[in-house]
Structure 1
Amino acid sequence: MNSAVLAFEDGTVYRGKPFGAKKTVLGEAVFNTSMMAYQELLTDPSNYMNILVMTFVEIGCYGINGEDSESDSIKASGLVVAGDCEVPSNWRSRMSLGEYLEKNGIPGISGVDTRTITRKIRMNGSLKACLSTDDISDEEAVRLAKAWCGIDGSNFLKDISCPKAYHFDDSAENIKPFELGGVHINTKPRTLPLFKCAAVDYGVKKSLLSSLAYSGFDVTVFPSGASAEEILEIAPQCVFLSSGAGAPSAAPEAAKTAAKLMEKLPVFGVGFGHQVITHALGAKTYKLKFGHHGGNYPVRNLETGKVKITSQNHSFAADAKSLENTGAIVTEINIEDNSVEGLRHKDLPVFSVQYHPESAPGGAGAPYPFDVFYELVKKNS
């Protein structure tokens, strides 16, 4: 069996066992600390052009099912694991992780020391990388990694946004929270009455739209390039700016459109949408050293003092200093590095969060951002 190669722009090379598709890909290597949800992570458009390095020791144990994907295909460039489970065991499983990668044309490498790789990324920052299951040399893999343009300064919106507007399917079967017989995870009914919401797709996850719809919104999704005038034609009562991928500073048109919408309607942004709002206010974003990718990031609400554990998946953050004198208030910060995790406008019905509220691991008693949005729209209708 040929070995797979993972090479970084600094010349470091790892060899391991290939699985998935036979292919050579480029991307930014980011480590993710989640123990589960590899299917969701692979299909999350926020991971577009990312080579995922999973820190947990074995990935693929419960296989792949037909319900948990966040989009119509894998969006990550490749997958790096210490061990891949070839014989998954779960009542929902339909295929193994390796079979899923191969079906989607995505290469993977296993049998490498992901702890060493993670430490490398933490020490040096996110690195351009080449992952290949083809028969290429170490030197060629390093050359390809060095030659790749990288994520900083890149606009990926046309690659991951929907091609045209559509109404999100809010049937009970499509938006209901996950249920398991005898276990009451979420017993809250859908919020009514519904408000008409325009969601701008910068690379939105299905679970974001499901959570939005379940929280009391009738959602129409627009492509990232839609103008404010096109969005306002449907007479929405509010606007949702979704998560996504790429550098927010490379999407000035998105910020211009958001600025126009913020003057007319309540607006809520998540992830990339939070960064778009930052730029729409005239502030700046910056690239984090190695990003926040995982399900265990503590966030403190500066207005209540409460702390919650959040799921995050981003490489850029809002610059707190530049938000001064823009009319915005920083409402939440990451306890680990004090980066901005939330903001709201002093006068306009506008707020945003950097983390993913639809994937919240914990924080009982903390306000659910979608419910906050609903009350904000209700107040301003």
Structure 2
Amino acid sequence: MNPLASPTPPMPALLALADGTWHRGHSCGAPGTAFGEIVFNTSMAGYQEIATDPSYAGQVVCLTYPQQGNYGISPEASEAARPALSALVVADACRTPSHWRSRETLPSYLARHGVVAVEGVDTRAVTLAVRGGGAMAAGVSTEVLDPDELVALVRAQPPIAERDLVAAVSCDAPWTETPAAGCGRSVAAVDCGQKAGIVAGLAARGLTVHTLPWDATAADVLALGADGAFLSNGPGDPASVPGVVACARGLLGRVPAFGICLGHQVMALAAGARTVKLAYGHHGGNEPVMNLLTRTCEVTAQNHNYAVDFPSFGPLVPGESGGRTSHEADLRCWAERGVAPVALSPEVGRVRLTHVNLNDGTCEGVEYLDRRAFSLQYHPEGRPGPLDGAYGFDAFCALMAGDPDYLVHAVQGRCA
């Protein structure tokens, strides 16, 4: 190679949003064109975990931290066998990573898995557009480089809620994770896009994890004779998976149950509540959440665009809600009062609000007091992110063991 020869110029790429804005950059992944709903993630690390999180299926992910890929790609960090996101947007993709576990660069990894990605974009401007206009359709292309043409193609895309995303990221057949040191209990997990870190978190507590595909019925779950049932995270609108909602409805009250993220939402739908779409969702590793039971604040890892509407469970029970009889839309009022309110659901009985997002006052966790079940909107396993909520796995173990104060004891480290 002639050392004086000019390097091969980078392949141009274009990002276009449904609001008509667009950004030129160059490719740092596979050639092609990809569409999805654009969201931004504020995590300062964990690009590999984000890229392989099945909950990002159907989404164009903009990472706000300036440089991505600086510590490379390692097999240990993946949350699934391959990336699930539609496309990736970054300011700068490092091609000279430094880490002893690194096996390849982020651009080569994305290219190998056919993920279209663009760098050289002002991710601050993209983030402001999403914060101002809400989550919207977007497209990234190395083929369509005319802004007007790509914007038109973006606007022609069907809404993400109309896409069957869960089926594409669930496992194809049942499988089992056996811990090195078991506790004698097992869990049946319904995989709607289950992260590897969640299975690891359950197995680390000595639980044998029997994972079933997303279309498993309540009868399928109960037939395993497990000590508890788990409903996993996953992509898209919870209302788009009525079968999973029906499964959750058949499990509530039959077996101790725990749900995370999408699992939290489908459990609420099964209990007769509603879910609402957030303006631009929660995506990152720094969301503050108040635990109403312990009055502690947790810094949490989150990835979702929908939230449970707590007032839709039913009327408040004044005697268990600090004497209050009226719901309020902003749930931060309960953090200020130091009360974990209880609503009365016609379908499942008493439902207690346990966790509240301190940024926007949305529901982050509930406890089904008459059904031996609870759920969390955020990710207790982190990956990437903090581990403030890791006690959620301990709480599940304590619930299966019959501890009536399982959530409080888990936080206090008093679970057996």
SS in 2 for 1:359: coil
TM-score, length-normalised on structure 2? 0.84
Residues 138-187 of structure 1 show CA distances to partners (whole Å, capped at 9, x for unaligned) of 122111211111223443221111111111253x4xxxxxxxxxxxxxxx
Q: Which residue of 2 aligns with 1:209?
A: 199
Q: What is aligned with 1:266? A: 256
Structure 1 residue ranges without an equivalent (≥5):
173-189
Residues in 2 aligned to 1:346 and 1:230: alpha-carbon distance in whole angstroms: 25
SS in 1 for 2:191: strand
CA distance in 2, matches of 1:93, 1:290: 33
> SS in structure 2 opposite 1:67?
helix
**Aligned equivalent of 1:293:** 283
Alignment-mate amino acid for residue 310 of structure 2: A
1:193 pairs with 2:180: no
Is contact 1:152-1:287 (8 Å) kept?
Answer: no
The aligned amino acid for 2:158 is C
Residue in 2 that maps onto 1:7 = 16
Superposed displacement of residue 263, structure 1: 2.4
User: Which residue, 113, 131, 140 being the options, matches 1:122?
Assistant: 131
- On the 8 A contact 1:40/1:69 being kept in 2, the answer is yes
Are 1:239 and 1:268, in contact at CA under 8 Å, matched by a contact in 2? yes
In structure 2, the residue matched to 1:113 is: 122
Amino acid at match of 1:28: E
Partner of 1:237: 227
1:97 is the counterpart of 2:118 = no
Calculate percent identity across the aligned residue pairs. Answer: 39
Distance 1:67 1:235 in 2: 32
Specify the SS of the correspondent of 1:356.
Answer: coil
Secondary structure of the structure 1 residue equivalent to 2:131:
helix
Question: 2-side partners of 1:339 and 1:17: how far apart?
Answer: 38
Deviation, 1:217, is 1.1
How far apart, in 2, do the equivalents of 1:339 and 1:322 lie?
Answer: 13
- Alignment length, in residue pairs? 361
Aligned residue for 1:350?
373
Give the CA deviation at 1:341.
0.3
Structure 1 segment 35-46 matched on structure 2, within 5 A: 35-46=44-55
Q: Please give the alpha-carbon distance, in whole angstroms, between the structure 2 residues aligned to 1:216 and 1:370.
A: 11
TM normalised by structure 1 equals 0.91
Large movers: runs of 4+ above 3 Å: 360-364
The whole-number CA distance in structure 1 between the counterparts of 2:66 and 2:86 is 20
Contact (CA 8 Å) 1:32, 1:52: kept in 2 or not?
Answer: yes
Structure 2 letter corresponding to 1:119:
L
Match of 1:331 in 2: 354
CA distance in 2, matches of 1:371, 1:44: 23
Structure 1 residue 362 displacement after superposition = 4.4
Q: Which has more radius of gyration?
A: 2
Letter in 1 for 2:52: T
Aligned equivalents of 1:232, 1:298: Cα separation in 2? 35
| Residue of 44, 61, 84 corresponding to 1:75 | 84
Whether the 8 Å CA contact 1:307–1:363 is kept in 2: the answer is no
Correspondence 1:222 to 2:201 = no
Structure-2 separation of matches of 1:321 and 1:22:
47
Q: Distance in 1 between matches of 2:396 and 2:284?
A: 25
Aligned residue type for 1:37: G
User: For residue 377 of structure 1, what is the aligned residue in structure 2?
Assistant: 400
Q: 2:43 aligns with which of 34, 38, 41?
A: 34
What amino acid sits opposite 1:90 in the alignment? H
Q: SS of the residue aligned with 1:6?
A: strand
Shift of 1:90: 0.8
Residue type of the alignment partner of 2:192: Y
Pairing of 1:12-23 with structure 2 (within 5 A): 12-23=21-32
Preserved CA contact (<8 Å) 2:380 2:390? no
CA-to-aligned-CA distance 1:28-59 (integer Å, 9 cap, x gap): 11000011100000000000011110100111
**Deviation string, structure 1 residues 307-353 (Cα, Å, up to 9, x no partner):** 01000000100012102332211110000001000000121110000
CA root-mean-square deviation = 1.6
